Structure 1
C-alpha cells in the first residue's frame, strides 16, 4: 500500500494534544495568579511577592510537558516507522521480494528512529525555554501597569488585567521562529514539529524496506488541492538515492518475457523519466506537515501515472481560509479559558460561535472541503 503522512496523523494528533492541554493549563495559572486579590488596594504588592510561586507553577507544567512529549514522541516514531515498513510489505506482497521482506521480520530501524527523536528534541528545545518567559513577562506587564491604570485611563484594574489576558490568549505562548523566519504559537509549532517528524518516520520505514530488497524507484500520487510546494512532484517518478535533477534512464521492464521452454528471453528494457531524487523533493517541501500526497512503488513498464483529482470550485487558497477560521476558533476558546468573570467569558463564547458559523458556511460552500472538529479544539480540558 502507498505510504503518506496520513499513516502517522493519529500519532501526531495525540501528542499535539499534550501541548494544547499544557497551554490551557498555563492560561489558567496566569488567570488565577492575576485574579487573586484583584480588588485589594495592595494587589500590586501581593503580585510581586507571588512571582516566585508563579514561576514554580509554570516550570512544573513545562517540565511535565517536556517529559511526556519526549516519551510519547519516541514511542510514536517507532510505531510510525513500523507502519511505513508494513506498508512496503503489503505493497510488495504479491512479488517474491515482498515475501522475502516479510520473512525478515526486522525490528524498526533503531538508528533511524533515534535520529528522528534527536531531531525533534533539537527543534522543540526552544519551546520550553520560551514558555516560562512568556508567562512571566505577561504577569510583570500587567503588574507594572496596574498602579496608574484607573487614574490615567479610567480603565479598572480588572479590565486592564482582562485585556492583557485576552492578548495572551489570542497569540498563545508565542515567539518561536522556524528556519524560514515564521513566528509560531506553542501548540501550533509543536503540532507542526510532531506531524513532520512522525510523517518522516513512516516514509523512512517504507523507503528503507524498499531499499533492502533492491527497489529504488517510487512514484508520487496526485492529491486534490495540492499546495505550490508539492505540485511540481505530482505523478512524478523519484529515485530513492542518487543525484538531484531530472533525467531519463533505461532500466529493465518489471515483467520479463520467457522463452518457449520457460527460459528467460533477452531482457526487455523501458525508458523511465526520473524527476529527481526523493531527498531532493522532500527538501523542496514534498511531505510537509498536512501534506496529502503519498508514495508507492514504481515498477518500470507496469506502473502508470496516477489519475488527476479534479476539484471544481475549490482551490488551495480555500483550504488555507479554512485553516485561518480554525485559528480564530482556537483563539477565542483560549480567550474564554482566560476570562476573569462571566461577562468576559460570554463575550469570548459569542466569538467562538461566530467563527464556528463561519466554518459551517465555508464548508457548505465548497464540496471538496471537510470540516475537521479536532483542529478547532485547544485541549481536552476545554
Structure 2
C-alpha cells in the first residue's frame, strides 16, 4: 500500500479513504477464512485458542496500517474542502465599498475572503470522522475476543442439543454469518448493524458533503446572503422531498419557510443525503415545491430495494471469496445469480441505473 501513498492527491482522498477501510474489511475477512479452515481440523479448545491468536496478529497489522494512513487522508480531505470553499469565494462579486464619514464609528472587522474557512468548513470531517474511524479501529482490535466467545459458545450449544447438528455444522453457520457481515457486531448509535466497509462509505461521504455545505453556507453568509433554497434531487426520500423548493434562512425570517436548523432537525441532510443549498434573494419567485407522486414513491422504494440487493450480492461474494467450504461456496454462487437476476429485472422495469461497482465487495475502489 505504501507504493500508492505518494500518488494520492486531495482529489482522490475521499475515495482512497473509503478504499482503505474496504481493504481492511477484506483483509480481516480473509483472516476469518483462514481461521475457519484451521478450525475444520481443530480438536478442542486449545486449537481454537491458537487459531484465534493468529487472527489477533492479523488485526494488529490491519489496524497499524489504518492508524498510519487515516490521519493523512483526513487532512487531505479537509484541505480539499478548503480549496473548494475558496473557489466559491472567487465566484462571489465583491461588495461595493461603504462611504466613510469622519463621524462614522469604526466598522467591525470585515470577513476576510482570502482566509481559509478552517473550523466551520472542516468541522464535520474533524469531529465525525476522526472520532468514528478511531472507534472502528478500536472495534477491530476486539474482534478476536468476540470471535472466540461466539465460536466456543456456538460449538458448546450444538454439542448438547439433540437436533442432529454437529460442531462442524455450528462452525459452518457461524462462518457464514461472520463472512457475510464482515466485522461482526459493529452497531451504530441507532442500533443498526453495518458491514465495516458500508459504514465507512456512508460516514465519509456524509461528512464530506456536510463539510462542503457548511463551507458554502459560511461564505454565503459573509457575502450577506441569508436566504437559501433546496434544489431538486432525483430519487430523493420522502423526508427530503418535502424540503425541495422550500426557502430556508439562517435565522428566523418571515420570507422563509423554516430555518436551516429546523430543516436539519426535521431530517434534511440525513446520512447519505446529497442535497445542497443555493442562494435565494427577496423578490425571486418561490420555487415550486411539487407533490409526492405515486411515481416518486415507486422509484424511491425501488432504489432502496436496489441498495438492498447490492448489499446481498456483496455479502455473498465475500462468502465465495473467503470460504473454503465447498457447500457454502456453491450456495453463495446460487444466491449471487438469484440476486443479480432480481436486480436486472428491477432496473429494467423501473429505468434505474445499475451500478455494477456497488455489487463488488470492494465497491469498485482500488487501493
Q: Check whether TM > 0.5.
A: yes
Q: Distance in 1 between matches of 2:88 and 2:285?
A: 17
Distance 1:166 1:197, change over 3 A: same
Q: Secondary structure at the match of 1:218?
A: strand
Residues 300-328 of structure 1: CA distance to partner in whole angstroms, max 9, x if unpaired? 22465168598837332222111111111
1:350 aligns with 2:334: yes
1:330 is matched with which residue? 314
1:280 aligns with 2:262: yes
2:355 is matched with which residue? 372
Q: Which of 276, 279, 282 does residue 300 from structure 1 map onto?
A: 282
Where in structure 2 are the equivalents of 1:29-68 lying within 5 Å? 29-36=31-38, 38-39=40-41, 42=43, 44-68=45-69
Q: Which of 93, 111, 123 does residue 132 from structure 2 map onto?
A: 123
1:208 aligns with 2:218: yes
Asked if 2 retains the 8 angstrom alpha-carbon contact of 1:135 and 1:173, the reply is: no
The Cα of 1:167 is off from its aligned counterpart by 0.8
The Cα of 1:61 is off from its aligned counterpart by 0.9
Higher mean displacement: 277-286 or 78-87: 78-87
Q: Secondary structure at the match of 1:184?
A: coil
Distance 1:84 1:177, change over 3 A: farther
1:222 aligns with 2:204: no
Residues 332-362 of structure 1: CA distance to partner in whole angstroms, max 9, x if unpaired? 1121123114443232122122212211111
Q: Distance in 2 between matches of 1:330 and 1:144?
A: 28
Where in structure 2 are the equivalents of 1:136-175 lying within 5 Å? 136-143=145-152, 146=155, 155=165, 158-175=168-185
The Cα of 1:144 is off from its aligned counterpart by 5.4
The Cα of 1:71 is off from its aligned counterpart by 2.6
The Cα of 1:89 is off from its aligned counterpart by 4.0
Q: Which of 360, 369, 376 does residue 344 from structure 2 map onto?
A: 360
Structure 1: gaps (5+ residues): 1-7, 99-103, 249-272
Q: Secondary structure at the match of 1:230?
A: helix
Q: Which of 174, 179, 186 does residue 196 from structure 2 map onto?
A: 186
Residues 103-161 of structure 1: CA distance to partner in whole angstroms, max 9, x if unpaired? x7735422235533133222333322322333442244335555896896665655543
Q: Distance in 1 between matches of 2:18 and 2:69?
A: 11
Q: Distance in 2 between matches of 1:63 and 1:114?
A: 25
Q: Secondary structure at the match of 1:365?
A: helix
Distance 1:107 1:79, change over 3 A: farther
The Cα of 1:29 is off from its aligned counterpart by 0.7
1:79 aligns with 2:63: no
The Cα of 1:237 is off from its aligned counterpart by 1.2
The Cα of 1:25 is off from its aligned counterpart by 0.7
Q: Distance in 2 between matches of 1:124 and 1:167?
A: 23
Higher mean displacement: 140-149 or 26-35: 140-149
Q: Distance in 2 between matches of 1:37 and 1:172?
A: 18
TM-score by length of 2: 0.78
Distance 1:231 1:149, change over 3 A: closer
2:102 is matched with which residue? none
Q: Secondary structure at the match of 2:242?
A: helix
1:236 is matched with which residue? 246
Cα root mean square deviation, aligned: 3.3
Distance 1:345 1:136, change over 3 A: farther
Structure with higher strand content: 1
Q: Secondary structure at the match of 2:194?
A: strand
Q: Secondary structure at the match of 2:278?
A: strand
Q: Distance in 2 between matches of 1:357 and 1:46?
A: 42
Q: Distance in 1 between matches of 2:233 and 2:133?
A: 30
Asked if 2 retains the 8 angstrom alpha-carbon contact of 1:126 and 1:176, the reply is: no
Q: Distance in 2 between matches of 1:25 and 1:139?
A: 18
1:70 aligns with 2:71: yes
The Cα of 1:284 is off from its aligned counterpart by 2.6
Aligned length: 337
Q: Secondary structure at the match of 1:190?
A: helix
Distance 1:15 1:340, change over 3 A: same
Distance 1:179 1:153, change over 3 A: closer
Q: Distance in 2 between matches of 1:145 and 1:236?
A: 54
Asked if 2 retains the 8 angstrom alpha-carbon contact of 1:85 and 1:202, the reply is: no
